[in-house]
Amino acid sequence: MTQRLHLVFGGELIDPAKNVFKNVDDLHIVGIYPDYQSAHNAWKGEAQRTVDNAHMRYFIAHLHRLRDEETPASPTEELG
């Protein structure tokens, strides 16, 4: 069985229009999840918790893509 690990993390951005963190040392590592749905649920919870701060952003990193360089990357591949 292939594992498709995903990392959920976030932090405060310098500018909400860009993906540059204000302070990398303050990144919030939410966790590593065994599938996209679990990661999406964790991401959604954190995004909703911080909705009042326009500079806070959470992301899902597809760790399984780092392990398999032959797999093409697509940001919407798993959204169905």
CA–CA gap between residue 63 and residue 71 (Å, rounded): 12
For the segment 54-64, the average pLDDT, to the nearest whole number, is 93
pLDDT recorded at residue 21: 95
For the segment 15-30, the average pLDDT, to the nearest whole number, is 95
Of the candidate CATH numbers 3.30.70.2400, 3.30.470.20, 3.40.50.720, 3.40.50.300, the domain formed by 6-67 belongs to: 3.30.70.2400
Domain boundaries, the chain: 6-67
For the segment 13-27, the average pLDDT, to the nearest whole number, is 94
Q: Which of helix, strand or coil describes residue 2?
A: coil
pLDDT recorded at residue 54: 93
pLDDT recorded at residue 76: 47
Cβ proximity of 64 and 4 under 8 Å: yes
Q: Is the pLDDT of residue 71 over 80?
A: no
CA–CA gap between residue 76 and residue 50 (Å, rounded): 23
Instruction: Give the pTM.
Output: 0.78
